[in-house]
A and B are shown apart, each in its own frame.
Chain A
């Protein structure tokens, strides 16, 4: 017997949980710029504040089900910050960190989870896809967008995100396969927060890593510490550069931990082992970056207080904009069904209007 193929999965981490750069690797250029690091820190904090606010809105009956990304801020902010405005984002449902990073407005995120399709009519991120609720379906859209870019010879790329549970879906494999064979400029980010609602990796897959699922599609892959935003951003920037220049797709598995319930409709105490959260909070991404900034004497308690006040105001403005958006006319159900509404449905539109908003 001879070996016909072999593979290995590399793991990337720059900064440990104490906010210290581990010695064996030279940190990327951007990580040596303190203002860039500060801005990444701020962007992660913004997502945490937004998520907390969204939770409060749901609990007080002002918003529907919402999936927070607490503990996973480094993944979305990290790869989102590696995107240019010409790249296209195809998010998953817990994708607010990357979405906001790429220009989706906070009020649009809130409006969407507040039950209003207008939250998908992005004012800035014009080409980005809305959240795909059916799991893993979005990866195929990313492949299609990248195919169009490739056919037109454009130097742009597509980022798409998926949870680790989503990698069990058929669409995940179909997307990786086609991206591999067509050499498409897609960066697939697996946000491994270790829980698919209540299902942990031990009963999700027999693979040692989720990254290695890329091997079967002939796609380059890497596993990174998803709590280390420096690692996430570095891996994403490299993958994006490659994708934009015809080098094809990459799978990046980011290992993080969901420090919150699956959504506002979930109660993780039913399945989460005792002690996991305590351990998780020691490793989470925001804390370690703050420790780093403090160690560089670049961040003080006063800076923290000032930032928190600003973020609270920023989020509150978005919340106000959301809450002040009046419920749409019943006509909105009809007006974008087709370019032109069929006559039959036109009569129903009139009926809905006649029945009024009640």
Chain B
């Protein structure tokens, strides 16, 4: 068993599944000899050949559209969009076709495909490389949207995503690609999609987050503990379809909820979670729901990036405000 990073876990999961299922193929820009710009596909072309790890021309709509055609024939394409900021030419294909093919053919054609993309800020990247636009896809019926927060989950959720019979958008928080290592047994064991993970148990407040921001959220929970506040931490992991029951159960126990997201605040996933808690759990609440998020601004270029990102102290502050609410 080796200790590996999140990006290595993505690589391992893809390699595992390619080894046991010959229908699994990888395609994208620079995924071959280069192993991907973040090295997610490092070594895979050497291992599985250029017929199964395919360097595509530079065209994102094509990558998504071709994946749809391949998946319709029973293959299981795992396509890489190099950065989420470049996914937009492919959105037509993802929303208008991938998400609805099963429905509009009444089940005759279904699409077992994964579209991976690194996303989020914090690595001093060029413009258009740092946005968190997961809500765009989470809004679309027919898609599943998965965001791993650590190496173990990246491994297990990627396996589940590839094996899922429907299209999965797999968003990788690149800021935490290499921030920690987990001991992972490369045994092909998946984590189920559509399930939240309770990462820390607590009694005073539920902190709900996903992706890179889960790290700040967990640190905030530590700090709160030092101040005598017991925070429960939930990793949403599959942001669509949302496992709202786990969140509601937790809020029923703690009576307080704070959602932490890197994305802008308005019309986001945090809004949906807050609305669900308000609809189904408002009588359990001892205080108004709180949200810690990015600003409703364009994601700034990297000199101001730090000022945009929610930080541990913001979460601590908001959690304390909620807990102290009378």
Interface residues of A (CB under 8 A from B): 90, 117-118, 120-122, 126-127, 129-130, 132-134, 137, 139-149, 151, 170-171, 174-175, 177-178, 181, 332-333, 335-339, 342-345
Contacts and interface: CB of A to CB of B under 8 A. Distances in A.
Contact of A143 (B62, B89, B104, B141): B62
A228 B106 CA distance: 37
A329 to B, nearest CB: 12
Nearest to A139: B65
B60 to A, nearest CB: 9
A122 B102 CA distance: 13
Given A120-B105, A120-B108, A148-B74, A137 B166 contact: no
A174 B194 contact: no
Contacts of B245: 343
B72 to A, nearest CB: 6
B69 A170 contact: no
A337 B165 CA distance: 11
Q: Considering residues A134, A147, A181, A343, which has the most beta carbons from chain B within 10 angstroms of its beta carbon?
A: A147
A127 B144 CA distance: 24
29 contacts: A117-B104, A117-B106, A118-B106, A120-B105, A120-B108, A122-B108, A130-B104, A137-B61, A137-B92, A140-B61, A140-B65, A141-B66, A141-B68, A141-B69, A141-B97, A143-B62, A143-B66, A144-B67, A144-B77, A145-B69, A171-B65, A178-B57, A178-B62, A335-B107, A336-B102, A339-B102, A339-B164, A344-B242, A344-B244
A177 B68 CA distance: 17
B96 interface: yes
A148 B25 CA distance: 10
Nearest to A90: B69
Interface in B211-259: 241-242, 244-245
Interface in B94-120: 96-97, 101-110
A174 B265 CA distance: 35
A178 B57 CA distance: 7
B104 A145 contact: no
Contacts of A132: 97
A170 B68 contact: no
B261 interface: no
Contacts of B105: 117, 120-122, 130, 336
A339 B72 contact: no
Interface residues of B, number: 46
Interface of B: 25, 51, 56-57, 59, 61-62, 64-75, 77, 89, 92-93, 96-97, 101-110, 141-142, 144, 164-166, 194, 241-242, 244-245
Contact of B57 (A137, A141, A177, A339): A177
Contact of B241 (A145, A333, A339, A342): A342
B142 A337 contact: yes
Given A143-B62, A339-B165, A151 B51 contact: yes
Given A177-B57, A342-B194, A137 B72 contact: no
Contacts of A137: 61, 65, 92-93, 96-97
B56 to A, nearest CB: 7
B281 to A, nearest CB: 14
Contacts of A342: 194, 241
Give the 8 A-B CB pairs with smallest separation, nearest first.
Answer: A144-B69, A140-B65, A342-B241, A148-B73, A144-B66, A174-B62, A121-B106, A145-B69
Given A117-B106, A345-B241, 17 more contacts: A117-B105, A121-B108, A127-B73, A127-B109, A130-B109, A141-B66, A141-B72, A142-B69, A143-B69, A144-B73, A144-B77, A148-B74, A171-B61, A336-B102, A337-B141, A339-B166, A342-B241
A332 B164 CA distance: 21
Contacts of A148: 69-70, 72-75
A182 to B, nearest CB: 9
A145 B62 contact: no
Contacts of B110: 339
Contacts of B59: 174, 177-178
B65 A134 contact: no
A336 B102 CA distance: 6
